[in-house]
Structure 1
Amino acid sequence: MKTLTEQLTQYATYHRDRRNIITHFVGIPMIVASMCILLSRPALSPDLLWLTPGAVIAALVTAYYLRLDVRYGVVLGAYLWGCLAVAQSLAPLPTGTWFAIGAGLFFIGWVIQFIGHYFEGRKPAFVDDIIGLLIGPLFIAAEAGFLMGLRKDVEAEVNARAGAPR
């Protein structure tokens, strides 16, 4: 399994234009939230209405993030579980409304992503490596931390390998 720095570096090579990074701060959270909403049905047990496909996937993804890095794993796990809580409040809505919210967020999030990649002049990372779909949220968490002055060691290593954002 690749290390945190290796995963972030590979993803970063597709994301060096600051405009692309900014669009990812909007698009990726929208896509993650949309997936939680769209996977909030059906409940896998009538007695455990919170146990949904989204909850199972979020637990597995959180475990992956925790294995890469505990700090980022905790942050991303909290975001995922927050999204799941919102998704659970939307799941009882009429099917058309529930689906429109989830699909709408998904579509708009991807449009924003592709606008960013237009600025970048490069295809999205997941086109070459499907794991990029999981690394996107991690990249945004790392970039947010870098902006707050956190994890300078990780930032320096990623920038040394991928080049500084331009």
Structure 2
Amino acid sequence: MSTELYAWLDEYNDSHINPINILIHKVAVPVILFTVVGFLWALPIPSGRFRHLLSVGKVGLVNMAALAIIGLLAFYFRLSTKIGMGMALVFVVMMGILTNMELKNVKIFRLCIILFIVAWIFQFIGHEIEGKKPAFFKDLQFLLIGPIWTLAGLYRTVGIKY
């Protein structure tokens, strides 16, 4: 684990001590990440011909979500190869779910708005219980750290060193 990753996770931990807040975050952070990917998924790509370079059925996988994920993975792999690999798996699963939803004509954007709002309400309830402001109030980059903080907790539980 890089010292930079350790510093990010350590500082994020400072705002997440209360067990109820931790539990809320373990659920809400992945939901929020999924909704952000879903929002980006729903954005049209400027040229339709690029959208279908890589597709499943009629669902194009070259979209704004895929482009954002590439950038996020570059950041995560820079911090830790194992964290980057775990997040790559998370994103593959999310893209699979979104592909399936689109094939079934689910209103992805509408669903993501609802989930996003509900998850953030729970996040703020968790921080009210914690008695501390969310870490991203101090630095917006903590919005990128939340998902890997959750993954790092899972890694510790199953004994994976990162």
TM-score, normalized by the shorter chain, greater than 0.5: yes
- The two structures, once aligned, show a CA RMSD in angstroms of 2.0
CA distance 1:58–1:46, change in 2 (3 Å): closer
Q: Is contact 1:37–1:91 with CA below 8 Å preserved after alignment?
A: no
Matching residue of 2:84? 73
Where structure 2 has 5 or more consecutive residues not aligned to the other structure, the ranges are 54-59
Stretch deviating more after TM superposition (27-36 or 80-89): 80-89
1:4 and 2:5 matched: yes
Runs of 4+ in 1 over 4 A off after TM superposition: none
Matching residue of 1:111? 121
CA distance 1:126–1:2, change in 2 (3 Å): farther
Matching residue of 2:19? 18
CA distance 1:140–1:46, change in 2 (3 Å): closer
Residue identity in the other structure for 2:52: D
- Once residues 91 and 102 of structure 1 are traced to their aligned partners in structure 2, the CA distance between those partners, rounded to angstroms, is 13
Matching residue of 1:164? none
- Once residues 74 and 20 of structure 1 are traced to their aligned partners in structure 2, the CA distance between those partners, rounded to angstroms, is 26
Where structure 1 has 5 or more consecutive residues not aligned to the other structure, the ranges are 155-166
Show the 5 A alignment for 1:1-166: 3-41=4-42, 42-43=44-45, 45-48=50-53, 49-91=60-102, 93=105, 97-151=107-161
- Once residues 54 and 38 of structure 1 are traced to their aligned partners in structure 2, the CA distance between those partners, rounded to angstroms, is 8
- Once residues 39 and 3 of structure 2 are traced to their aligned partners in structure 1, the CA distance between those partners, rounded to angstroms, is 29
TM-score normalised by structure 1 residue count: 0.82
Identity %: 28
Provide, for residues 42-82 of structure 1, a one-character-per-residue CA deviation record: whole Å limited to 9, x for no partner. 24524332111111111110111111011111111110121
- Once residues 96 and 45 of structure 2 are traced to their aligned partners in structure 1, the CA distance between those partners, rounded to angstroms, is 13
Q: Is contact 2:83–2:151 with CA below 8 Å preserved after alignment?
A: yes
